[in-house]
Amino acid sequence: MNLYVFGRGLFRSFFSTTYRVETIGLENIPKDGPVLLCCNHIHYFDPPFLGSYVPRKVHYMAKAELFKVPVLGRLVAGVGAFPVKRGSGDKQALKLGLKILKDGEALGLFPEGTRSKDGTLGKGLAGAGFFALRTDAVVIPCAIIGTYKPFNKLKVIYGKPLEMESLRVAKASAGEVTDYIMKAIGDILHTHKSQ
């Protein structure tokens, strides 16, 4: 058993016993081919929570500082994360993200770039649009709803794939595509928060 599968199982057990977890829309994630999961960001646990219930390996960008921490750095790398220098337009991280998608794998992104302090959805950075435009990835808007307080309800929704071809043909900018993705995430949050 590889480290990713072991880690995913461990996290899934932790989440399922600590919170009242509900997953919606897993059937929207293709079983193979490139996939870009774009989600809101409310907590440090969001990356493992988003990926724990997905039957495929999900790669993530993680802040470069984490990889300098002994043991943690190796663990983070072992579960599919790769470093990104925040606030600098890290070209190496962008190249690696593109390679992951072009190799037909899944990439998880939090377009806001940082956690929301009050749970409201912030403005997305252009990176999500960049990856969506430069690859043929299926783009899945996702939303995490709830609080990470023990025994509280915690939902993760994997939305329907977004229609991207018209934006690619129209040569939309990365910023415009990110805005489109963020609107879809916002719509999921709005629809499911009251349920």
Identity of the residue numbered 31: K
Domain boundaries, the chain: 3-193
| Percentage of the chain lying above the pLDDT 90 cut | 65
CA atoms of 13 and 62, how far apart (whole Å): 23
Identity of the residue numbered 138: V
In DSSP terms, which residues pair with 155 in a beta bridge?
22, 145
End-to-end CA distance of the chain: 38
pLDDT per residue as tens digits for the range 17-73: 999 999 999 999 999 999 999 999 999 889 889 999 999 999 988 777 777 777 666
CA atoms of 75 and 155, how far apart (whole Å): 26
- CA–CA–CA angle 24, 27, 33 (5° rounding): 130
Q: What is the pLDDT of residue 64?
A: 74
Q: What is the pTM of this model?
A: 0.91
Q: What is the mean pLDDT of residues 107-126?
A: 90
Give the SS3 label for residue 35. strand
Confidence of residue 118 (pLDDT cuts 50, 70, 90): confident
For residue 5, what are its two tokens?
């599968």
Check: CATH 3.90.76.10 for 3-193? no
Whether residue 6 is predicted with pLDDT greater than 90 in this model: the reply is no
Q: What is the mean pLDDT of residues 81-99?
A: 78
CA atoms of 42 and 165, how far apart (whole Å): 30
Q: What is the pLDDT of residue 1?
A: 55
Q: What is the pLDDT of residue 71?
A: 67
Whether residue 194 is predicted with pLDDT greater than 70 in this model: the reply is no
Residue owning tokens 């593109």: 98
